[in-house]
A and B are shown apart, each in its own frame.
Chain A
Amino acid sequence: MSSPAPSPVHSGARSGRDVAVVAFAQSSHTRRTDQLSEVELVMPVLHDVLKQTGLTANRIGFTCSGSSDYLAGRAFSFTMALDGVGAWPPISESHVEMDGAWALYEAWVKLQTGEADTALVYSYGKSSPGSVRDVLTRQLDPYTLAPLWPDSIALAALQAQALIDAGLTDERGLARTAVRSRRAATANPHAQLRGSADVEDLLRRPYEVEPLRRHDCPPISDGAAAVILAAGDAARALHANPAWIRGIDHRIEAHQPGVRDLTESPSTRLAAAAAGAFDAPLDAAELHAPFTAQEIVLRRALDLDDRVPVNPSGGPLAANPVMAAGLIRLGEAAALIHRGEAGRVLAHATSGPCLQQNLVAVLESSAGGTR
């Protein structure tokens, strides 16, 4: 991107209390989980993060989840998932009708107030009950866009075509992104699509919605994820190598795709600046780009060049449980730090058609970036 990095707006996102991700768990994402209710899908990841930290539900200061009634096909679907938490005695708890990354943000804010020292964050998405491609059309302006039923792949194709028309990528470049992601996923036991045919092979296949082929699109996934956040000494007590959230911010853009330049993501860039992403080099980035072309848009917004590994987990092209995929990016970024594989990692989450809303967090080990 040619414009200079914007200067951070007035925001306390980089000051205040030190908060870290101290545990992360995710399900093994699959195309269908017909045998599982939502609570049965969520409970194992909740137990996993509690076990990692030795905490119990009633020692957690705040709990926040993210999910969507439209994805589940029923009102108040999150109330059923709460059974998996064991909310007794009553707990301090909230829910966002958004990706779990924003539930993590709400929990981070709660820890910033000092009212809690630990937080449990979880999210889940079962895409299999309905046709997620059609369900997502219900996100659009109900009077002018939704009646036309432009599905999520068609909208992503518009964005990809704009990018190609602007000379910023080509179908081969998109295929290379798909191959790189899915081959990286071979090292991720939770990923749904692991491994890939080579670029030449992929380019011989038919279009899904031109210019996108099937490999440019995410798989349809059922899955869940959970994270535990802790502040200051609590974080140090719970993990030998906490993944400190050095900055976190999120921004939204106009809804109507027609009034946006779909080749750019100014909201990502604003959020990244506020989160301090441009202040020091990064060791890796986990980007919530469900479509190959969206990774190109995000790389440009974030000034990421080829020296920064993107989506070592395989990213959403390898597993895309809607409503959890953003939280998983934060979790995967933290896991790199927990394992000592990186010192400073950017995590990104998105929501809405064509990257309308974006969240960026910068996570660091206690030592900071290693390069």
Chain B
Amino acid sequence: MSKQPVAVVGVGQTKHVAARQDVSIAGLVREAAVRALADAELGWADIDAVVIGKAPDFFEGVMMPELYLAEALGAVGKPMLRVHTAGSVGGSTALVAANLVAAGVHGTVLTVAFEKQSESNAMWGLSLPIPFQQPLTAGAGGFFAPHVRAYMRRTGAPDTVGSLVAFKDRRNALKNPYAHLHEHDLTLERVQSSPMLWDPIRYSETCPSSDGACALVLTGARGAARAPRPPAWVHGGAMRSEPTIFAGKDYVSPQAGRDCAADVYRQAGVTDPRRQLDVVEMYVPFSWYEPMWLENLGFADQGEGWKLVEAGVTELDGDLPVNPSGGVLSSNPIGASGMIRFAEAALQVRGLAGEHQIDGARRALGHAYGGGAQFFSMWLVGSDRPGS
């Protein structure tokens, strides 16, 4: 049984902001979906199934919200699936949708991911008082900061590297009209003098809390041939998971991330990702994760990721631009953040990324991770149909 080729023909997202008080949750997801359909020049009747993802239900205080969203997403009478794989969910959701097309189960699928963090309190959702559990002492930052320190210790990276990434991503965000943070006055000095929240992580090196949604329209070869704009073709996609906590876990460069990337490269026929990929959208909620993931994803040797950052390789005009959209550091509607990475990768190879377009991008990686750096989902998209 051979897989059917899968193409991204529609991409939509909302303007990510701290609080979208003008729309309900239904209004938010529909806005992204309508934009994705408009990009594909398709209507609701053209959609065979809907796959939706978001992070924990406690973030909005709605259990299984897809039930309430059936009408808003035109799913009545159709199959609707709800994915939840922690922070990687936006990516996993897109992959589940892609598999529906690849398997030949459906012709055209709409996939949506969202988070409306302003409707509840995400920090509260993350830290419900479980009396006997080891407390997640200070939210996600407190969880990840020790691993950043372990990376610095292991590689000897100078402590300015994190600020370089943050400054780059925030400047990139100025070119992306959908990004949450548009900090026109930010300087590198301001990043480096921002408050130390979870030493060694500074305030300006952390992601914001956003309301936002992202949607994609996925279809097969026939749908792609009818698409009004160039499609992005899925050349490879994979998910990998490892346990939350285990003896010998490498929090700095988790094996699941390495395996996931290797699987995607194998599917796509990529043997030298640094040379063969034109742009990367990776999930970097704290700036130090850029050098960490550069190593984990095979773009740099162990211990060398920070050198690529220092040399400007990951800048918009570098030879491996990372997060031209501004990344998670500039917009973080948690459940949607992974899908936004996948969507931005697709926009790049379609040549539709606007001001943050990388000229001539033909192959791009979209990456997401979640949980205790344990769940990974990635896809590699290209401007050419696979095998052509």
Direct contact of A and B (CB under 8 A): yes
Known interface pairs A11-B105, A140-B68. Does A90 touch B240 (Cβ–Cβ under 8 Å)?
Answer: yes
Are the C-beta atoms of A89 and B259 separated by less than 8 Å? yes
Q: Which residue of A lies closest to B54 (CB)?
A: A97
Contacts of A109 in B (CB 8 A): 96, 99-100, 103, 105
Instruction: Indicate whether A284 reaches chain B with its CB closer than 8 angstroms.
Output: no
Q: List B residues 83-108 near A (Cβ within 8 Å).
A: 83-86, 92, 96, 99-100, 102-107
Q: In whole angstroms, what is the CA distance A135 to B61 when docked?
A: 11
Q: Which of A42-50, A68-76, A186-194, A292-300 forms contacts with chain B?
A: A68-76
Q: Which of A251-275 contact B (CB under 8 A)?
A: 251-256, 266-267, 270
A94 with B82: CB separation less than 8 A: no
Residue of B nearest to A77 (CB): B56
Enumerate the 7 nearest inter-chain pairs by beta-carbon distance, A residue then B residue, closest first: A112-B103, A90-B256, A75-B56, A93-B241, A70-B63, A138-B63, A97-B84
Q: Are B67 and A251 in touch, CB under 8 angstroms?
A: no
Q: Are B128 and A102 in contact (CB under 8 A)?
A: no
Max chain B C-beta neighbours (<10 A), residue from A68, A76, A96, A357: A76
Q: By the criterion CB–CB under 8 Å, are B81 and A253 in contact?
A: no
For residue A87, CB closer than 8 A to chain B, the reply is yes
Which single residue of chain B is at the shortest CB-CB distance from A17?
Answer: B1
**Cα separation A82 to B243 with both chains bound (whole Å):** 7
The reply on B302 being an interface residue by CB < 8 A is no
Residue from B57, B63, B104, B125 whose CB has the most chain A CB atoms within 10 Å = B63
Does any Cβ of B come within 8 Å of A83's Cβ? yes
Tell me, yes or no, whether B76 is within 8 Å of chain A by CB: yes
Bound Cα distance A344, B307 (Å): 62
Q: Is B70 an interface residue when CB atoms closer than 8 A count as contact?
A: yes
For the complex with contacts A15-B104, A109-B100, A139-B62, 20 further pairs of A-B residues with Cβ separation under 8 Å are A11-B106, A70-B57, A76-B56, A91-B240, A96-B81, A106-B96, A109-B103, A109-B105, A112-B104, A114-B1, A139-B67, A142-B25, A142-B61, A142-B62, A146-B62, A250-B80, A254-B71, A255-B68, A270-B77, A352-B67
B243 pairs with A83, CB closer than 8 A = yes
B63: chain A residues at CB < 8 Å are 68, 70, 135-136, 138-139
B2 at the interface (CB under 8 A from A): yes
Number of A-B contacts (CB under 8 A): 190
Hey, what's the 0/1 contact readout for B240-271 against A, CB within 8 Å counting as 1? 11111010000000111001100000000000
Q: How far is the CB of A326 from chain B (nearest CB, A)?
A: 13
Number of A residues with CB within 8 Å of any CB on chain B: 66
B85 x A95 contact (CB < 8 A) = yes
- Please report the C-alpha to C-alpha distance between residue A356 and residue B63 in the assembled complex, in whole angstroms: 14
Q: Would you give the shortest CB distance from A293 to chain B, in whole angstroms?
A: 20
Whether A16 touches B103, Cβ cut-off 8 Å, given contacts A93-B241, A94-B83, A95-B84, is yes
A332: shortest Cβ distance to chain B, in Å?
A: 23
Knowing A109-B96, A352-B64 are in contact, say whether A96-B58 is a contact too (CB < 8 A). no
Q: How far is the CB of B267 from chain A (nearest CB, A)?
A: 9
Is B372's beta carbon under 8 Å from chain A? yes
Q: Judging by beta carbons under 8 Å apart, are A351 and B64 in contact?
A: yes
* CA A141 to CA B260, docked complex, whole Å: 37
CB neighbours of A140 from chain B (8 A):
67-68
A251 pairs with B79, CB closer than 8 A: yes
B238 contacts partner chain A, Cβ-Cβ < 8 Å: yes
Query: Does A13 interact with chain B (Cβ within 8 Å)?
Result: yes
Say whether B3 faces chain A, with CB atoms less than 8 Å apart: yes
A305 at the interface (CB under 8 A from B): no
Interface pair B241/A87, CB less than 8 Å apart: yes
Q: Counting chain B CB atoms within 10 Å of each CB, which of A96, A140, A270 scores highest? A: A96
Measured in the bound complex, the distance between the Cα atoms of B239 and A68 in whole Å is: 21
Q: Contact at A68–B64, with CB atoms within 8 Å?
A: yes
Indicate whether B78 reaches chain A with its CB closer than 8 angstroms.
yes
- Contacts of B246 on A, CB cut-off 8 Å? 88
Q: Which residues of B contact A52 (CB under 8 A)?
A: none
Whether A251 lies near B78 (C-beta < 8 A) is yes
**17 A–B pairs (Cβ distance < 8 Å), ordered by A:** A16-B104, A16-B105, A70-B57, A75-B126, A79-B86, A89-B242, A90-B242, A97-B83, A114-B1, A138-B61, A139-B67, A143-B24, A253-B77, A255-B67, A270-B77, A356-B67, A356-B70
| A370 interfacial contact with B, CB 8 Å | no
Residues B3 and A114 in contact, CB atoms below 8 Å apart: yes
Q: Known: A95-B85, A253-B76. Contact between A112 and B1, CB under 8 A?
A: yes
Q: Does B223 contact A (CB under 8 A)?
A: no
Cα–Cα distance between A78 and B82 once the two chains are bound (Å): 14
Contacts of A16 in B (CB 8 A): 1, 103-105
Q: What is the 8 Å Cβ interface bit string for chain B, positions 29-65, against chain A (1 contact, 0 not)?
A: 0000000000000000000100000001111111111
Q: Does A38 contact B (CB under 8 A)?
A: no
Report how far A115 CA is from B239 CA in the complex, Å.
Answer: 12
Residue of B nearest to A105 (CB): B81
Determine how close the nearest CB of chain B comes to the CB of A298; give it in whole angstroms: 17
Given A89-B255, A91-B240, A112-B105, CB of A74 within 8 Å of CB of B81: no
Report the separation of the CA atoms of residues A130 and B48 in the bound assembly, to the nearest whole angstrom: 37
Shortest CB distance B112–A (Å)? 14
User: Which residue of A10, A97, A112 contacts B107 across the interface (Cβ within 8 Å)?
Assistant: A10
* CB pair A90 B70 closer than 8 Å: no
Given the contacts A16-B1, A76-B86, A10 and B103 also touching, CB distance less than 8 Å = no
Contact assessment for B70 and A94 in the assembled complex, using a CB-CB cutoff below 8 Å: no
Please give the distance in Å from A316's CB to the nearest CB on chain B. Answer: 18
Q: Report A339 CB to chain B, min CB distance, Å.
A: 29
Report whether A75 and B128 are in contact in the complex, using a CB–CB cutoff of 8 Å.
yes
Collect the chain A residues with CB atoms within 8 Å of residue B242's CB: 87-91
* Residues of chain A within 8 A of B71, CB atoms compared: 254-256
* B371 interface hit (Cβ, 8 Å): yes
Query: Do A142 and B241 form a contact, CB below 8 Å, given A10-B107, A97-B84, A352-B67?
Result: no
B54 to A: closest C-beta gap in Å: 8
A92 interfacial by beta-carbon distance below 8 Å: yes
* A250 shortest CB reach to chain B, Å: 5
Interface residues of B in 108-143 (CB under 8 A from A): 119, 125-126, 128, 130
Q: What's the nearest-Cβ distance from chain A to residue B166, in Å?
A: 27
Q: Which residues of chain B are near A357, meaning CB under 8 Å?
A: 67, 70, 80
The answer to whether A94 touches B96, judged by C-beta atoms less than 8 angstroms apart, is: yes
